[in-house]
Amino acid sequence: MNTTLPEILAPAGDRAAFLAALAAGADAIYLGLKNFSARAQAGNFSITELAALTELAAAKNCRVHVAMNTMLKPGEAEAAGRLIDRLNRHVRPAALIVQDAGMVKLARQTGFAGEIHLSTLANAGSPAALAMIRERLGVDRVVLPRELNIDEIRACAKACPENLDLEVFVHGALCYNVSGRCYWSSFLGGKSGLRGRCVQPCRRQYSQGSNTGSFFSCNDLSLDVLVRTLRDVPEVRSWKIEGRRKGPHYVYYTVSAYKLLRDKGDDPEARKTALSLLEQSLGRRGSHYMFLPQRPYVPTDPARQTASGLMIDKLGNARTRKLQITPRVPLISGDLIRVGFEDEPGHQIIKVRKSVPKGGRLDFLAEGKPPRLGSSVFLIDRREPELSRALNALERELEGIRVQPSGPSEFEPKMPRPAKGMSRPLHLHVSRKQGENKLNDGSGLWLTPSSSREVKPGLAMRVWWWLPPVIWPNEEQEWRETISRIVTGGARRFVLGAPWQMSLFPDTMPRLPRALALKRKSKDFRKSCSKAKTEEGLVLWAGPFCNIANPLALEWLADMGFAGAIASPELSRDDALELGHTSPLPIGFVTTGQWPLGITRIPLEGAKTERPIASPMREICWVRRYGQNHWIYPGWGIDLRDKEAELSRAGYSAFVHMHEMKPRDVQRASRVSTFNWDLKLL
C-alpha cells in the first residue's frame, strides 16, 4: 500500500478557476502564462498576478506548476529564457512543465530553482526511456500519455529510476490523436497543437458516403472509482485533472470528487458522493478509455456530437433575433450557457443575467449570426451561492497580498555554434515496403518486427531504417528484439520517432561521430556506411516526429550522440531557414509526400479504414492501421521541392520524401500542400 498519497493536481485557466481549486483543497495547481502555453485559448496569467496567487497558494499548502510546454521555435530562446528568469525571481513556482528539450536547457541556464516536469506532449511513456530521461535530460517528473492502461502504468513505475516521479491523467478531455503526434490543426491552417493553438478539427462532424458522425470526437476521460488502483503505485505521485479551459464550477467539483476517492475511496458512501460530484461537474460524458486492459473502451460515439456541459434545452421558435429556451434545471444569475456546438454557425456563449426557475423562460439576443432553431443549449459553468462565497472569501485574502511588479530580465541564452551544411544534400526516400522505390544510398524503410525477419543479406546496411512515431510499453520488448535482430544483420543507420527510442538500442553499440552521418558524395557516403559496419557504430538521426524546432534542442541531441535531425515540418519559411543557419547538427526537412494529420491508438468507429472521409468543408482524409496505431492522412500531400535550393543554401543536409500508397477509393488530389511554409506559425 502506498503510504504517501498522490497529489490532486488541478487545472486553472484563469483567476476564478485558480481560486476554485484552492477552495476545493487541491494539493497543486497547474496553469499557463500569456506566452509559451499549450492552452493559449485559456485566459492564462501575467507574472505579477501569478506572484500574488502563488503566495496565496503557499499559505494554503498548495504548489503551483507553470506550463511552458509549447514547441520552441528558432529565435524564441531569448524571450522564453527571460520569462523563465522572471518566473524564477518573482513567482518561484514549484515546477515548470515543458515538452521541449530546448526549454529544459534554458531553465538550467537561468538557474531555475523548481522542479522540471516533462509534458505528455513529449510522448515519453516508455519504461525503457525513463532512466535515460532522468539521467540525460535531468527532469524530475514525467507526465504519462493518456493512452496507457494500468498494466503499462505499472510497467513504467517498475522501471522508474530513483528521484523521478510519474504523473497520470485521471479526468478531463481526450484528444483523438496521441499527444505530441497530432498535426491536424496545423496542417489545415497553421494553428498548431504543439504551440497551444489547436482549433480541434477532430470535434467536427465527418461523413463517409451517406454516413455522418463524430468519428474522431472523444468523450472525456473519467477514471472515477477505478482511480483507487493507482493509490498502490507509489511512483505515481500526481493525479492530474485536465481542463485549463474550464470554469471554476468544473474545477471545484472534480477536485472535490477525486480528493474523496483518494482519501476515502474504500468507503461506499464516499464513492457514491464522488460520482455524484463528477456528474454535476458539467464535463462531457465520461469514459474509462483504455485503463482496464481486459476491458478497453473506445471513447468515441459517432452517433452523437460530444460537447461539454449539461444539455438543458433546444433553442425554441423565434421570429426575431430574440431567442428563447425553457431550461430543464434552474439557472442562477452568473451561469454560462453555450448555444450550439463549437463548429456550428451561430455558436455563442451567453451569460445568464437573472435567475430562471426550472421550466421558466429565458430570452436573449443573438450576437452576430443567429444560431439555427433547434440548436442544443448547454449549461457550461455556474455560480452556486456556496462556491461564490468561497471564491469571494479567497478574493478578499488575495487583496491583502502585495507583490512588487516584476521588472525586465537581462538574461541572455548561451546558444550553440552552428554546423556547416553540405554542398550536396542527401535525398531520403522513405517507403513502407522494399520494392516500392528503387533502393540506393538514400533509401529508407519503415522498420517493423516482421520486416526485420525478411531483410535480404546486404540490404540492412544500405537502408535508413525508420522507427514509428510511437512505441507503446506493451510492445517495447518486441522492438528491442527487432532492433537487435536488424543490427546483427548489419543495419547501422536509423531515424528515430522519438529521442527516447535510443534506449531500445544495444548498450554495447557506440554512436558514430556526427561527421560520418552524411558525406557530400555517394561513394564517400557508402564508405562511411562500411566504416560503420567495421567499427560497430550506429548513425542515429532524430526524425520529424521528434518535433525538433530550435538550436538548443538540437544541441541536446548532439550531446546524446545523435548524428543529425529532421526538423519539424510544421515550421514556416522564416523559421525553417533560421533553424538551418543556426543548427549545430546536420539537419533535414520533409519536402514531399504524405504527412499524417495524426497518429492514434483509438480504433476507428462508425466509418471504414482505407476509405475517404470528408469534413464539413469537403476536405478528404483517410485512415490506415499499422500495428497498434491508426494513421490519419489528408487526401493531399506536401510538395516543397521548389524550396529545396533555398533550404540547401540555409544549411540543410537532407530532404525527406515520404512515400505512402493511397487507398484505391481515395481519388488523386487536385492540390498539394506547402504546410506552413507560407504561413506564420503562431
Ranges of each domain in the chain? 7-174+219-282+387-399, 183-217+596-636, 310-381, 426-594+640-658
Q: State the Cα–Cα distance between residues 561 and 570, nearest whole angstrom.
A: 25
Q: What residue type is assigned to position 358 of the chain?
A: K
pLDDT at 514: 46
Mean pLDDT of 329-342: 89
Mean pLDDT of 661-670: 92
pLDDT at 296: 86
| Strand bridging mode 654-658 / 587-593 | parallel
**Residues 466-509: tens digit of each pLDDT:** 999 999 999 999 999 999 999 998 999 999 999 999 999 987 66
- Count Cα atoms within 13 angstroms, Cβ side, for 427: 13
Nearest to 443 by CA among 419, 460, 418: 460
Q: Which of 297-311, 344-358, 514-528 has the lowest mean pLDDT?
A: 514-528
Q: State the Cα–Cα distance between residues 42 and 30, nearest whole angstrom.
A: 12
pLDDT at 319: 56
Nearest to 514 by CA among 579, 548, 565, 562: 562
Residue ranges of E strands in 502-660:
539-542, 564-566, 587-593, 598-600, 613-614, 620-626, 629-634, 638-639, 654-658
Nearest to 479 by CA among 462, 459, 463, 494: 494
Q: State the Cα–Cα distance between residues 405 and 366, nearest whole angstrom.
A: 41
Q: From the options 2.130.10.30, 2.40.30.10, 2.60.40.10, 3.40.30.10, give the CATH code of 310-381.
A: 2.40.30.10
Both ends of the chain: CA-CA distance in Å?
A: 46
Mean pLDDT of 660-668: 94
Q: Which one-letter DSSP state was computed for residue 205?
A: -
Taking a C-beta distance cutoff of 8 angstroms, is the pair 28, 44 a contact? no
pTM of the model: 0.93
Are 310-381 and 426-594+640-658 the same fold in CATH?
no
**Residues 86-115: tens digit of each pLDDT:** 999 999 999 999 999 999 999 999 999 999
**Residues 556-613: tens digit of each pLDDT:** 999 999 999 999 999 999 999 999 999 999 999 999 999 999 999 999 999 999 999 9
SS3 track for 305-367: CCCCCEEEEECCCCCCCEEEECCCCCECCCCEEEECCCCCCCCEEEECCCCECCCCCEEEECC
Quote the cell numbers at residue 108.
538550467
Q: Is the pLDDT of residue 363 over 70?
A: yes
Q: State the Cα–Cα distance between residues 406 and 314, nearest whole angstrom.
A: 48
Q: 141 vs 96, 131, 157, 548, CA distance in Å?
A: 10, 11, 12, 21
CATH of segment(s) 7-174+219-282+387-399? 3.20.20.80
Proportion of the chain above pLDDT 70, given as a percent = 92
pLDDT at 469: 98
Mean pLDDT of 404-409: 86
Average pLDDT for the chain: 90
Q: State the Cα–Cα distance between residues 255 and 292, nearest whole angstrom.
A: 23
Contacts of 162 (CB under 8 A, 6+ apart): none
Q: Is the pLDDT of residue 253 over 90?
A: yes
**Residues 113-135: tens digit of each pLDDT:** 999 999 999 999 889 999 999 99
Taking a C-beta distance cutoff of 8 angstroms, is the pair 631, 596 a contact? yes
DSSP structure string for 373-397: TT-EEEEEE---HHHHHHHHHHHHH
Q: State the Cα–Cα distance between residues 529 and 537, nearest whole angstrom.
A: 9
pLDDT at 318: 52
Most confident range (mean pLDDT) of 371-385, 425-439, 627-641 is: 627-641
Q: Is the pLDDT of residue 25 over 90?
A: yes
The CATH T-level fold of domain 426-594+640-658 is TIM Barrel (3.20.20)
**Residues 414-438: tens digit of each pLDDT:** 999 998 755 678 999 999 987 665 6
pLDDT at 114: 97
pLDDT at 383: 82
Q: What residue type is assigned to position 224 of the chain?
A: D
